[in-house]
Amino acid sequence: MAREFSTCVEYGLSLSKRIYYGKEMTPAAAAAAMTRSISSKSSRLEESYLPTSVMAYAVIPEPELVDNPDVPSYQPYVHGRCEPPALIPLQIHGAVAMEIDCCFDNANVCFSGAWRVHCVKASRKCDVRIAIPMGEQGSLLGVEVDVTGRSYHSQLMQAEDANDSEKQSKGWNGRLIKGSLYSFVIPEVGGGSTFSIKVTWSQKLLYHEGQFSLNVPFSFPAFVNPIGKNISKREKILLNVNSGGGKEILFRCTSHALKELRREAGKMGLLYDAQVLTWSRVDFNFSYSVYSKDLFGVLLQSPFLRDFDDRQMFCCYLFPGNNQSMKAFRKEVIFLIDISGSMKGDPFESAKNGLWWHQHFSPTQTGYKDVG
């Protein structure tokens, strides 16, 4: 599936050379925006055109659809169909923004941007395929789409409806292309129109030698930059970090120039906001460490800002600290959790007493240390 996707994009880039951008644009400038480097061509096709940021593609079943909606070129009619349909990367207009909330080793990412169907005749329509690459152990949480005169949003499907083909046919036609790369289709978007997308997903931070690292796909290929003069391009990244404890956060490094907005024990807010000449060519990377001389952890964490069901999160998270003289240990722990509140009072106490009795009087040696 990944190889087919890359093949469709490669064909789409070839078809996009038919587009005429006006006399003020030289052929050299257009060619530079629509070609790949020699090193990219020599790499495996399956990898060379897979997106490294949220991308939108015009789905082209017939080559004759391709033209500039503002400046028609009236090219000769092209017979035949594209099987499978070609995918032309759409240009990003206006601004791209990300809001990232980090807590423990989890990050919720909210990406928003706007694209223009710059490659289809104004009198015609085409489907648009959206591709969403997510970071480490990425999981899609929600999608919102605004097109001229209509809007779409994702919603959770009940377990009993998962095998209902009729209800699934009304969905997004979404699928995983490879790993954490998710894709879906927006139907019938008019040539020359602009649409906006907001995507939310969760992913993991990596932890190594006392340092947390976050990597979010944010590298845009050159051919999504609008061709023209005086087109504003703005990038904005708002990053909120919550270490989960009241310990100081030590900022390490970042790929984009972040400005500190606020800081308190265990929390930090940072912002990157800039007008750019071209869209970002590198992923967003950020790393930090938590200063601690002692072992500490958190059991109950408040919900994230954009948590759809506003739930609290139960977890056991231990920071090893930097005390080299501390001796490592291993203990098993039992957690008894009443998530519904139905065991409040005597039933809950009886369950705790039963576990305590088993711990102290079991004929076999157990490794249990605590009952919570």
Residues 268-307: pLDDT tens digits?
999 999 999 999 999 999 999 876 665 555 556 665 555 5
**How far from 5 is each of 11, 59, 246, 309, CA to CA, in Å?**
10, 11, 46, 35
Which class for 160: exposed (0-12), middle (13-18), buried (19 or more C-beta within 10 A)?
exposed
Helix or strand (DSSP H, E) at 38: helix 38-42
Please give the average per-residue pLDDT across 3-21, as a whole number: 89
| Annotated domain spans of the chain | 2-162+170-290, 330-372
Distance of CA 53 to the CA centre of its chain: 8
What pLDDT was estimated at residue 307? 58
Give the residue with greater pLDDT, 165 vs 30: 165
Q: pLDDT at position 42, please? A: 41
Q: Does 117 score more than 90 pLDDT?
A: yes
Does the pLDDT value for residue 250 go beyond 80?
yes
Q: What is the DSSP letter of 128?
A: E
Residue 31 pLDDT class (50, 70, 90 cuts):
very low
pLDDT exceeds cutoff 60 at 170: no
Q: Order of strands, edge to edge, in the sheet holding 249-254?
A: 206-208, 211-216, 284-290, 249-254
Taking alpha carbons only, the member of 312, 275, 359 closest to residue 103 is: 312
Question: Among 133, 135, 128, 125, which residue's Cα sits nearest to residue 56?
Answer: 128
Closest C-alpha among 34, 86, 96 to residue 223: 34
- pLDDT(324) > 60: yes
Task: Decide which of 190 and 322 is more confident.
Answer: 190
Per-residue confidence (pLDDT) for residue 279, from 0 to 100: 96
> Is residue 212's pLDDT more than 70?
yes
Predicted pLDDT at 125: 93
**Residue 251 pLDDT greater than 80, yes or no:** yes
Residue 310 pLDDT exceeds 60 = no
What pTM does this model have? 0.79
What is the pLDDT at residue 352?
Answer: 80
- State whether CATH 1.25.40 applies to domain 2-162+170-290: no
Give the rounded percent of residues in the chain with a pLDDT score beyond 70.
Answer: 72
pLDDT at 176 > cutoff 70: yes
Q: For the chain, what is the mean pLDDT?
A: 80
Q: Is the pLDDT of residue 355 over 90?
A: no
DSSP single-letter state for residue 122: T
pLDDT tens figures, 85-101: 999 999 999 999 999 99
At 177 the pLDDT is 87
The more confident residue out of 107 and 323 is: 107
How confident is the model over 55-82, as a mean pLDDT? 85
Which pLDDT belongs to residue 294?
A: 57
In this predicted structure, the answer to whether residue 35 has a pLDDT above a threshold of 60 is: no
Range 252-259 average pLDDT: 92
pLDDT of residue 320: 63
